[in-house]
Every structure is written in structure tokens, then in C-alpha cells.
Chains A and B, each alone.
Chain A
Amino acid sequence: MPEPITPELIQEAVRGSQPAFRAIVEANQGFVYAVAFRFVNDSQEAEDITQEVFVRLWKNLKSYRHEVKLSTWLYKIVTNRCLDFLKSRHGRQRKNKVDISTTHFVQDSSTPEKEFQQQELSRIIHAAAEELTPKQKAVFILRDLEGLSQEEVSETLSMSTGNVKSNLFYARKKMTEKLKTWYQTTDKDFL
């Protein structure tokens, strides 16, 4: 989750203070980058998206409403930008090209064989995630990985809670089925 920013700092940035905006960038760029990376799975693309998100934030800062949390607004901007990217020609072209070197797995592998197995599992999971529709992927990332509440996901994606649940169901089902199939074909114990 992003670091909290004081309302005074936001006010200063709204008035056009670049040092205040710099402080906002420094406090939030890590979280924006992490969300973008989960969507695009590419560090360079994620950095470009992060930059665009903050430029867009700067341009629209005057229309900022104080009742909305800055983090919610940032989630909204980064998610919309990532969805645009996934729907774009470039985004579709790089689909299924999962770069294992950029995947991150909690390291608990004691042997090289286990490490290889984890890398393979990571590749399968990312490939499965690439098969989700952009909306399913967005709901899956925001709800299951970022841990936002159902209402926050609904607000971020401007979607009804019923729609959020529906997309989440298909995303979870697809991921479970992919993993089950992989474990069955490799004769490994899933549970």
C-alpha cells in the first residue's frame, strides 16, 4: 500500500508547488510501479506507465476531490493506463511472452531441482494470467494481489460489485484449472 500523504502537501501540489509534488511522487512511485508491473510484467513498460501516471496526476490535480483518497485515485489512473496498454496492439503482441527473469518468487528452494520447478511454476502462472481478459486480470490483481476491498475494486474500475464478483470468479477458476492441469501432467502433488 502507498505511504500516506498529508492533505496540506496535496494542497501545496494543487497550487503548483513542484517540491510538494516531488514528495508525492517519491512516496507513491514504488507502489504505482509495482501495480503496473503486475499488469504488464515488464520493468521498462512498468516504468513508462508509472511516469505517465504521475504526469496525468499533475495535469488533473486541480480536479482532485478531498473526499477521495489519493491512493484510490492513483489506483484508478494506473489501472486505466494498464488496461489501455493491454488492449493496445503493442500490449496484445507481447501477450504470452512471459519473461521468467522478471518474475518474482518467494525463494524457499533448497535444491536446484526445486528452484527449476519454481521457475516453471512461475512461468505457468504468468502464462495463465495472460490468458485472462483485461478486466478479469484487473479484478484479480486489485482484489487478490493488492488486497483492495470489493468496494474499492468496484470504485477503481467503475464496475458494479456483481460485475467484480463475476470477473473474479472466472479469473480464479481459470487460474485454479491451469494449475491443476499442470500438476496432473507433471505428476506433482498440488495440495
Chain B
Amino acid sequence: MKCNDFERDIHLYSELTEEERVRVDSHIQECSACKELFQLAIATQTLLKKVYTKSELANHGRLTSTIMQAITAQQQQSTSWISNLFLKYTMVAGSLALIIAFGVEQLSPVGSVYKRMPETNTVTLNSASFMKAALDRKENPEAVNPSFYACVKSGDCNNPLIESLKKKSL
């Protein structure tokens, strides 16, 4: 094997298996150039460990507070997002319910319409037919129960309350 073949193994010496290390060791015993490279690589590793010492955080407490504040803000943001989403879906559901109700009413039979005026072509005719309906109601009034006020006025109704009032007035 040539020196170039050992270059990679020399730089990756710490990653080699025991067998591979023995092979590199025996080569650097014979080759001065590779021995120098090996020593350089080891020296570089030592030097790097000196330069890259662990950097200490200046203020632990301040960073902890900043992190916890960011997390609280994050939590609030997600909560408001959920409530916004709830509001959004509620409004969509409400709108859909209204649309469905409107559609159902439109599709339901005409009988459900309380009163429908006869179709006319002009405003005048329409007014006349409205009046006609009112006059018809006046001429043929439907049998309805008299109101409490009508009972008091006429004094004809058989109502226990009216009877007691009559007795008191006597």
C-alpha cells in the first residue's frame, strides 16, 4: 500500500478498529512522512480541544425566564388559535343551518303559507282584492272565543273571576 492510501486512516485513527490501527502503526514505523502526518493530526486534535473549551452561559436565570416567557406566549397563542377556530366553525355551522332552514321552507308545500293574495297584474287590482278579503271576513266572521275584555263589557260570560267581581260590587 502507498502512503496516500494511509492518509485517510491516519486522520480517522480514532475511528478505526484494532486491526486497522495495527496496520497503520506498522506503516508509520517505516514511513517518516506518514509518521509526521500522524503526529500532526494528533497535535491538531489536542490543540483544538484547548481552543474549543466549553463556553459558559453568562446569565442562566435570564435565559430561563426568556424561554419560559416564550413558552407561555406560545401556549396563549395556541389557545387563542383554538378559540378562533371554534368561533369560525360555529359561525360556519350557523350559516349552514340558516341556509338549510331557508331551503326547506322554500321547498315545503304552499299550504304552509298563511294567506296568499290572488295573483293580480296591477297594484289597483291587488288593493281591491285585499279589500275584498277584508270585507268577506267582516261579513262572515269566524266563531271565536270572546276575549276577557269583551266578557267584562257585556257581562254575559260565565267566568268565576267576573262572578266574584260582581259580588264584591253588590
Contact = CB atoms under 8 A, between A and B. Distances in A.
Interface of A: 18, 21-22, 25-26, 29-30, 33-34, 37-38, 43, 46-47, 50-51, 54-55, 58-59, 102-106, 121-122, 125-126, 144-145, 150, 165, 168-169, 172-173, 175-176, 179-180, 190-191
B121 interface: no
A25 B64 contact: yes
Contact of A176 (B40, B49, B51): B40
B107 interface: no
Contacts of A121: 47, 51
A104 B44 contact: no
A45 to B, nearest CB: 12
B53 interface: yes
Interface residues of B, number: 34
A105 B50 contact: yes
A102 B53 CA distance: 11
Where chain B touches its partner, the secondary structure class is helix
A104 B47 CA distance: 12
Contact of B64 (A22, A46, A58, A190): A22
Nearest to B41: A176
B11 A55 contact: no
B53 A105 contact: yes
A25 B67 contact: yes
A43 B60 CA distance: 13
B74 A179 contact: no
Interface string B127-153: 000000000000000000000000000
A105 B56 contact: no
Contact of A50 (B44, B47, B48, B63): B63
Most buried by A among B41, B68, B74: B68
Contact of A30 (B44, B53, B60, B68): B60
B169 interface: no
B12 interface: yes
